[in-house]
Amino acid sequence: MTQRYSKAVLRKLRNDIPIDRVIADILNQPNKVSEGYFRFLCPVCSEFTTAVNPKTNLARCFSCRKNFNPIDMVMAVKTYSFRQAVDYLMGIIRAN
Ligand SMILES: [Zn+2]
């Protein structure tokens, strides 16, 4: 596999796009605010028992115990490969 993206770029994709924005605005994954917390429909198990952590920029599902960074989330929602997910997020960043 050709190394088109540097580690710094991948780090940027994981850290610089807020995970709740990835879920709600970029992927249009069903979401809601419940008791003051942002919840999203888990793309793996379809439960709403989820949360996001702005500090780590990770989303977590308490039902299937999966953690998602923005790249993982794109892979899960769109059933993309890692490479496709990175290309997709790069396209979003370039468009902004
Ligand atoms: Zn889940």
- Strands 50-53 vs 37-40: parallel, antiparallel or unpaired: unpaired
> Distance, CA 20 to ligand 1 centroid (Å)?
16
Closest CA to 69 of 19, 7, 29, 21: 19
The pLDDT of residue 3 is 61
The pLDDT of residue 95 is 83
State yes or no: pLDDT of 1 exceeds 60: no
Structural domain contains residue 35 = yes
State yes or no: pLDDT of 2 exceeds 80: no
pLDDT classification of 50: cutoffs 50, 70, 90: very high
Structural domain contains residue 16 = yes
Structural domain for 23, as ranges: 7-95
Structural domain contains residue 24 = yes
Structural domain contains residue 1 = no
Q: Please calculate the CA angle 43-46-50 and round it to the nearest 5 degrees.
A: 80
> Distance, CA 21 to ligand 1 centroid (Å)?
19
The CATH number of whichever domain residue 77 belongs to comes to 3.90.580.10
Rounded-to-integer distance, Cα 89 and Cα 19, Å: 12
- Which residue is it, tokens 């977590």? 60
> Distance, CA 44 to ligand 1 centroid (Å)?
5
> Distance, CA 4 to ligand 1 centroid (Å)?
31
